[in-house]
């Protein structure tokens, strides 16, 4: 019997990766010869059977339970912090030249099982921030236009489901620093009109709105910052406090009329003293606001010593779930498909150098096992192992963030 050909990209998107697993292996649970357990050196088909399991990614050798594959298949998976590219040279930058985005690049996004990505980055501060953000949002809009058969921009909560149903990857536009709102309240409206739907109030440093997580002193949100939050609430821009200092974070919960998000952070109770992790009082305030917190896989935010593993990351999910409820949990990996450790070594060193010592980087930034495009399958498998129900997991994978964004965006037109 000949080895069946793999599915088309459209088949994978429309039929899901459970179908892709069957197509790639002939029947569920049977793998081709280059899989573990196959005859060494054989190029013909050799069965490799695991009862009750699907072999999904035949070439990598990764296999997942039928329950994991089913959950990934029917969930609208949303990663609330995952840029298209973490750090690349100009000649490889897809936003500068969308034609450099290849079929192979697209295949990796399809295989990830993630339906939509929040692609926020920091673009710098100061007086030029508004121009920089306008250029950045314009570049993303141009990228989506150039690949309209593959991507769509997320403008409403319903768009998450539409993207999955249509077989496209959703891109949610956000910025990790609201410096572009620092001198003109009208800039909130302009960014909304360009497609921005989420804005982090600060990055790690102080701006006119508030204070970042690595500032020595956090005086909280300024009067100007309060006005910015009010306008964001009115327009429908979701407030994100992932990188904000502790007092700025707490002030945002007090000032916002809408739920406040922590799109990508972890629990300080498990990483004592780390400025990028949130104390329990902030996590409780997030839940009281109706918000959702995305857990990251950045190694130094997960544990301050080795070994740091997927289980270590799952401890953060458990901590939030036990304290405020699983309905306030989501995914915010804070890496691109391949992670920090895969980027060019020179750029990697430059990236580490721009952060203060309080970030406590170690040799690696990523966690083995969740540093590859299919990491949401590994997360799902881990959540199953921790006893989460199917409804819990579909909420964590995307349903909870979709719900709260729907509340924030409810009743809003294309422009406020």
Q: Give the domains, in start order, of the chain with CATH numbers.
A: 9-67 (no CATH), 75-409 (3.20.20.140)
Report whether 300 contacts 274 (CB < 8 A). yes
Report whether 238 contacts 402 (CB < 8 A). no
Q: Which stretches in the chain have pLDDT values below 50?
A: 1-51, 413-416
Instruction: Please provide the DSSP assignment of 300-329 as one string.
Output: HHH-SSS---HHHHHHHHHHHHHHH-GGGE
Q: Measured between alpha carbons, how far is residue 197 from residues 10, 265, 268, 313 in Å?
A: 28, 19, 28, 28
User: pLDDT at position 89, please?
Assistant: 67
DSSP bridge partners of 153: 171
The stretches of 326-399 forming alpha helices (DSSP H) are 345-353, 375-385, 390-394
- The pTM (predicted TM-score) of the whole model is 0.88
Q: φ, ψ for residue 199 (rounded to 5)?
A: -140, 125
Q: Mind listing the pLDDT tens digit for each residue in 35-92? A: 233 333 333 332 223 446 666 666 677 889 999 999 999 999 999 999 999 877 667 8
Query: Which two structure tokens, joined as six digits, stand for 212?
Result: 């970042």
């Amino acid at each position: 019997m000949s080895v069946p050909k793999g599915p088309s990209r459209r088949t994978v998107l429309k039929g899901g990766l459970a179908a892709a697993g069957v197509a790639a292996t002939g029947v569920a649970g049977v793998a081709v010869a280059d899989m573990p357990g196959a005859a060494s050196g054989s190029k013909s088909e050799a069965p490799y059977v695991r009862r009750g399991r699907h072999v999904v990614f035949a070439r990598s050798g990764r296999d997942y339970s039928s329950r994991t594959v089913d959950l990934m298949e029917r969930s609208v998976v949303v990663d609330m912090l995952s840029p298209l590219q973490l750090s690349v040279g100009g000649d490889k930058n897809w936003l500068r030249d969308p034609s450099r985005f290849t079929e192979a690049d697209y295949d990796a996004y399809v295989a990830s099982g993630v339906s939509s990505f929040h692609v926020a980055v920091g673009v710098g501060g100061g007086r030029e921030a508004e121009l920089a953000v306008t250029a950045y949002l314009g570049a993303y809009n141009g990228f989506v236009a150039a690949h309209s058969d593959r991507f769509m921009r997320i403008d409403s909560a319903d768009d998450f489901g539409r993207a999955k149903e249509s077989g496209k990857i959703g891109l949610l536009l956000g910025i990790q620093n609201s410096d572009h709102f620092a001198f003109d309240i009208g800039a909130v409206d302009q960014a909304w009109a360009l497609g921005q739907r989420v804005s982090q109030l600060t990055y790690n440093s102080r701006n006119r709105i508030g204070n970042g997580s690595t500032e020595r002193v956090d005086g909280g949100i300024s009067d100007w910052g309060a006005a910015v939050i009010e306008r964001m609430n009115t327009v429908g821009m979701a407030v994100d406090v992932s990188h904000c200092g502790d007092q700025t974070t707490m002030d945002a919960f007090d000032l916002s009329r809408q739920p406040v998000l922590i799109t990508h952070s972890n629990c300080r109770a498990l990483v004592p003293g780390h400025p990028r992790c949130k104390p329990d009082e902030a996590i409780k305030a997030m839940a009281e606001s109706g918000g959702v917190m995305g857990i990251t896989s950045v190694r130094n935010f997960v544990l301050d010593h080795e070994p740091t593993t997927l289980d270590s990351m799952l401890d953060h999910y458990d901590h939030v779930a036990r304290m405020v409820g699983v309905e306030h949990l989501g995914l915010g990996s804070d890496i691109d498909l391949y992670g920090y450790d895969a980027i060019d070594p020179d750029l990697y060193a430059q990236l580490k150098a721009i952060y203060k010592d309080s970030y406590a980087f170690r040799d690696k930034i990523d966690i083995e096992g969740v540093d590859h495009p299919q990491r949401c399958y590994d997360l799902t498998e881990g959540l199953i192992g921790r006893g989460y129900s199917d409804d819990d997991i579909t909420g964590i994978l995307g349903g909870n963030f979709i719900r709260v964004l729907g509340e924030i965006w409810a009743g809003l037109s294309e422009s406020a």
